[in-house]
Amino acid sequence: MIDRSLGDRVFNVVNYVLLSLICIVVLYPLLFVLSASVSNPETVLRGEMWLIPKEFNLDSYTKIFQNKDILMGYGNTILYTAMGTALNLVMTVCAAYPLSRKDFAGRGLITGLIVFTMFFSGGLIPTYLLIKNLNMLDTFWVMIIPNAVSVWNIIIMRTFFQQSIPGEIQEAAMIDGSSHFQTLFRVVLPLSMPIIAVMVLFYAVGHWNAYFNALIYLSSKDKFPLQLILRELLVQSDSGDFIKLTSEAGVRLKMSMEGLKYAVLVVANLPMLILYPFLQRYFVKGIMIGALKG
Amino acid sequence: MMRSTDAVTSVSNLNAKPQRLRRLKKSLLLNWQLYVLILPVIVYYIVFHYLPMYGIQIAFKDFIANKGIMDSPWVGFKHFERFFNSYYFERLLKNTILISLYTLALSFPIPIILALMLNEVKAERFKKMVQTITYAPHFLSVVVIVGMLFLFLNPSTGIINHIIMALGFESIPFMTSPGWFKTLYVLSDVWQTMGWSSIIYLAALSGVDNQLHEAATIDGASKLQRIWHINIPTIAPTIVILLILNLGSVMSVGFEKVFLMQNNLNLSSSDVISTYVYRTGILDSQFSFSAAVGLFNSIINFALLVIVNYIARRVNETSLW
């Protein structure tokens, strides 16, 4: 359609301008962090760096890779993310496949049981006491098991099984004498790779970014995930005070600590930063499948 | 979304009990593998979600660790009364509700507007670019977002205060002033979520019948008129559903971000129910009292959801269930 009227043309111009502004507002802080991380920290802290890196250097990154806490946190997070996502995926398939089948008696009851937990929960304290009674406090497992599966993702996957995999194929397999396990592994799963990719991404991002369970349940630092280390570095160390200009050396130290923070932000999001452009469409696909049902 | 027709049929089948049992038996024999598959999931939900619900009873007891949840003595509503009469009650309630309402006022409509705007963009590449950029912050963790706030808003080294000082004003200690807390919370939330939240509306907009637009154009409707009379009514059901979900969680401000942005100096405006439960429960080990506070919160949440859903069904014939 061609926009004929003047009003419509004005609308179009305003629309493009506003959207461009929104892009700048969203993008600028991200680019600033990126540029600040490769600039000389002093220029950043004095407010001389606006967008283009000043006095390019990678000192902050070298320092990060010498920092034991960050490296350990990184290692822990990778482990929690890998193990957690694997368990999430298995549990989601285990729940979604039976719930997607019409011949599964008790389907409504079990769906109700699972969905109810989205709207009402025991709350923080009873859950904490349970974890304590299970002797899971400050263990590796507390980062994996309490979040073994998410209701929302079960619903998304079940919907995919119901709508995107023709029931006739499953029926045909069953008539040919294949069991439920065989149907699941040989027919359903091979046809579900797109949704499995989406699930892996959703769960993995969730694990990578989570800090709540670690904050509540972990006490020994060698088990801390990256986000908790980040919290110490970025949030707790910032008292909001003005820098006390006592000695030249003191200022230097504070400066390099502050400069480090930008690089830490980049490193923490590195996997996301690299993968995001390639994976974006999968994420969107996932949320669409969820939304269609809604 | 969760309109479970299965639940409805199983209820109507209640009076046909023997037949139902027979069916269940047959299904068990035939489909035992399905039950094996779902067993771990059921065990997980019972242990990690329903056992804590059973543990809620400590809100009505004086929890003594070595006696356990079962054998601790009952005390009725003692902990609830203490909470309602405490100095913090009003402050917590006010902060929790205000933060939610401010968030709702901005974070809810902006994605809708963004989706409507994006929907009018004909240049595919520009549209893709805007989407890619605005979705990106969704993937940053709360710790990173709050870390960025601290860095940008630092009174002496942050870029925002450099600008303020360059304009000749005093620098503002944003992160430690109670007056700024809610604004920062809501604006950073809009920044992070607007793109991602717009996806669902974009999906709904893709279902708009193009013939309506053509007919309206021939009748001389302007673009704004067409958006108002065609696009918005089409996505209205989606808006209502999401509004229900949001209103239902007015009393449950997420712990994670508030907690990170909170410090002793801004506590008067940043203390919410969930952070109070964490402080009194996990840090001070007043398990029964904090469980009571948490339960009070969950019950209100649940009631709100049911009420809002009821109203929506009455008014709009759109509801969650």
CA distance A264 to A33: 10
Give the per-residue pLDDT at A175: 85
Q: Write out chain B residues lying below 8 Å of A45, CB-based.
A: 157
Q: Is residue B159 assigned to a domain? A: yes
Q: Are residues B95 and B186 in the same domain?
A: yes
Between the CA of residue B270 and those of B191, B259, B260, what are the distances in Å? 20, 8, 10
Give the ipTM. 0.86
Q: Is residue B242 assigned to a domain? A: yes
Q: Are residues B31 and B143 in the same domain?
A: no
DSSP state letters, B14-68: TT-HHHHHHHHHHHHHH-HHHHHHHHHHHHHHIIIIIHHHHHGGGGGB---TTTH
Residues 10-49 of A with CB under 8 A from B: 11-12, 15-16, 18-19, 22-23, 25-27, 29-30, 32-33, 44-47
Q: Are residues B144 and B222 in the same domain?
A: yes
| Partners of B61 in beta bridges | B74
Say whether residue B210 is in contact with chain A using an 8 A CB cutoff.
Answer: no
Q: Do A128 and B6 touch (CB under 8 A)?
A: no
- List the one residue out of A215, A88, A217, A204 whose CA is nearest residue A153: A88
Domain assignment of residue B145, given as a range: 89-316
CA atoms within 13 A on the CB side of A237: 15
Chain A residue with minimum CA distance to B190: A26
Say whether residue B147 is in contact with chain A using an 8 A CB cutoff.
Answer: yes
Q: Are residues B156 and B30 in the same domain?
A: no
Give me the residues of chain A with pLDDT under 50, please: 1, 239-245, 293-294
CA–CA–CA angle A270, A273, A276 (5° rounding): 140
Give me the residues of chain B with pLDDT under 50, please: 1-13
Give the per-residue pLDDT at A292: 52
Q: Are residues B250 and B213 in the same domain?
A: yes
Say whether residue A216 is in contact with chain B using an 8 A CB cutoff.
Answer: yes
Written as six digits, the tokens of B163 are 């600008």
Q: Is residue B239 assigned to a domain? A: yes
Q: Is the dihedral of CA A55, A61, A63, A69 positive or negative?
A: positive
Written as six digits, the tokens of A232 are 């110490």
Q: Is the dihedral of CA B203, B101, B154, B278 positive or negative?
A: negative
Q: A59-290 belongs to which homologous superfamily?
A: MetI-like (1.10.3720.10)
CATH number at residue B130: 1.10.3720.10
Give the H/E segment covering residue B180: helix B178-205
Say whether residue B134 is in contact with chain A using an 8 A CB cutoff.
Answer: yes
Q: Are residues B112 and B151 in the same domain?
A: yes
Q: Is residue B157 assigned to a domain? A: yes
Give the per-residue pLDDT at B16: 55
Q: Do A119 and B305 touch (CB under 8 A)?
A: yes
Say whether residue A7 is in contact with chain B using an 8 A CB cutoff.
Answer: yes
Interface test with A, best of B3, B144, B296 (most A CBs within 10 A): B144
CA distance B264 to A134: 34
| Partners of B74 in beta bridges | B61
Q: Are residues B231 and B310 in the same domain?
A: yes
Looking at the structure of chain B, the number of domains it has is 2
Give the per-residue pLDDT at B68: 80
Query: For chain A, what percentages of helix, strand and coil (3-state, to nearest 5) are there?
Result: 75, 0, 25
Q: Are residues B109 and B257 in the same domain?
A: yes
Give the per-residue pLDDT at A97: 93
CA distance A137 to B56: 20
Instruction: With H, G, I as helix, E, B as strand and everything else as coil, classify residue B74.
Output: strand
Say whether residue A138 is in contact with chain B using an 8 A CB cutoff.
Answer: no
Give the per-residue pLDDT at B9: 44
Say whether residue A177 is in contact with chain B using an 8 A CB cutoff.
Answer: no
Give the per-residue pLDDT at B318: 63
Chain B residue with minimum CA distance to A14: B117
Q: Is residue B307 assigned to a domain? A: yes
CA distance A217 to A80: 14
Give the H/E segment covering residue A64: helix A59-64
Give the per-residue pLDDT at A293: 46
Say which amino acid occupies B167: L
Written as six digits, the tokens of A30 are 């991200």
Q: Are residues B101 and B198 in the same domain?
A: yes
Q: Tell the burial category of B152 from Cβ atoms under 10 Å away from its Cβ (0-12, 13-18, 19+).
A: buried
Q: Are residues B255 and B114 in the same domain?
A: yes
Give the per-residue pLDDT at B15: 52
Residues 6+ away with beta carbon under 8 Å from B159 = A32, A47, B152
Q: Are residues B32 and B148 in the same domain?
A: no
Say how many CB pairs under 8 Å bridge A and B.
Answer: 301
Residues 220-249 of A with CB under 8 A from B: 227, 230-231, 233-235, 238, 240-243
Q: Is residue B2 assigned to a domain? A: no
Give the per-residue pLDDT at B8: 43
pTM, two decimal places: 0.86
Give the per-residue pLDDT at A94: 94
| Domain map (residue ranges) of chain A | 59-290
Say whether residue B112 is in contact with chain A using an 8 A CB cutoff.
Answer: no
Q: Is residue B79 assigned to a domain? A: no
Q: Write out chain B residues lying below 8 Å of A107, CB-based.
A: 6
Between the CA of residue B94 and those of B80, B283, B307, what are the distances in Å? 18, 23, 21
CA atoms within 13 A on the CB side of B293: 29
Measured from the Cβ of residue A214, the count of other Cβ atoms closer than 10 Å reads 23
Measured from the Cβ of residue B9, the count of other Cβ atoms closer than 10 Å reads 11
Q: Are residues B40 and B93 in the same domain?
A: no
Q: Is residue B16 assigned to a domain? A: no
Measured from the Cβ of residue A137, the count of other Cβ atoms closer than 10 Å reads 14
- Buried residues in B186-212 as b, exposed as e (16+ CB within 10 A): bebbbbbbbbbbbbbbbbbbeebeeeb
Phi, psi of B74 (to 5 degrees): -70, 145
Chain A residue with minimum CA distance to B262: A235
CA distance B213 to B210: 5
Chain A residue with minimum CA distance to B117: A15
Closest chain A C-alpha to B96 CA, distance in angstroms? 17
